[in-house]
Amino acid sequence: MKKPVIGISTSVIVDQGGGFPGYERIYVNKDYVSSVIAAGGVPIMIPMDASEENLRQTLDLLDGIIFSGGHDIAPIRYQEEPHQKLQDICPERDEFDFLLYRLAKERKLPILGICRGYQLMNVSEGGKLYQDLSLKDTESFKHSQGHGPNLPTHTVKVEEGSKFHQILQKEEIRVNSFHHQAVKSVSENVTISGRALDNVVEVIELKDYPFGLGVQFHPEMLQAKEEDMKKIFAALVSAAKEYQGKK
């Protein structure tokens, strides 16, 4: 049997120097690609392009998908006006990601959302975000670590009985943290399966869906040295294998 193919949503970066200053390049951090390879999948980068026809054809190739990190989601997507503390948004990427998510879900493709990808899942399902952690009614920890990407800095308590708990077989894990926003509310399609000790939601799951997991932290930056983080990609690839078998 062939290895399952995992699509990774990408973004656009503008060259700051080099031979082509101002030039646009399609990109995703290499860690996403390495994590899929390490878990036994074949990674494919999905260029930021909101053509439904093209995305449907791309999705035909896939057995699973990762929605990667990036810009804040435009608050209009969850019926809010922009707060002063909102950071950069990218409406073109919203258009691409929201469409890609809807099309991926239609065919019950296994989904892993990371950081922005996790927030995208929540908003697509009808949930809302805090535009900044300072807008939460109680005080939060520092969720934007000033250290290297591969250092776990805060604890996440794992909800017993959740799929996430099944994957990890643990009540508590340590994660890294690079976010200034957080999930404010979830819809009836979504379960919360992990929180930081300040109650900030860090993990969600789709209800009645084969595999739909979203994490606020960045397992792709930790998986090379943290067993718990490897399990997340292993679970995605295993769900992708199952999907592939039914195609």
The one segment of 18-26, 28-36, 46-54, 142-150 that binds Mn ion by CB under 5 A = 142-150
Marked catalytic residue, from 115, 143, 154, 202: 115
Marked catalytic residue, from 202, 205, 220, 226: 220
CB of 142 to Mn ion, least distance (A): 9
Is residue 176 near Mn ion by the rule CB under 5 A? no
Is residue 181 near Mn ion by the rule CB under 5 A? no
Asked if 101 contacts 50 with a C-beta cutoff of 8 angstroms, the reply is no
Is residue 93 near Mn ion by the rule CB under 5 A? no
Confirm whether 220 is a catalytic residue. yes
Is residue 119 near Mn ion by the rule CB under 5 A? no
Give 55 or 182: the residue with its C-beta nearer to Mn ion.
Answer: 182
Burial of 120 from C-beta contacts in 10 A (0-12 / 13-18 / 19+): buried
Residues 85, 82: Cα–Cα separation, whole Å: 8
CB of 115 to Mn ion, least distance (A): 10
Count of other CB atoms within 10 angstroms of residue 169: 9
Give 123 or 200: the residue with its C-beta nearer to Mn ion.
Answer: 200
Q: Which of 77, 105, 128, 143 binds Mn ion (CB under 5 A)?
A: 143
Q: Beta strands 201-206 and 182-185: pairing type?
A: unpaired
Token pair of 228, please? Answer: 């718990």
Confirm whether 90 is a catalytic residue. no
DSSP summary character for residue 178: B
Confirm whether 80 is a catalytic residue. no
User: How far, CA to CA in Å, does 152 sit from each of 22, 36, 173, 205?
Assistant: 34, 20, 9, 22
CB of 200 to Mn ion, least distance (A): 6
Provide the residue type at 59 as one letter.
Answer: L
Query: By C-alpha distance, which of 163, 167, 165 is closest to 235?
Result: 167
Q: Interface with Mn ion by CB under 5 A: which residues?
A: 143, 177
Task: Name the residues annotated as catalytic.
Answer: 115, 218, 220
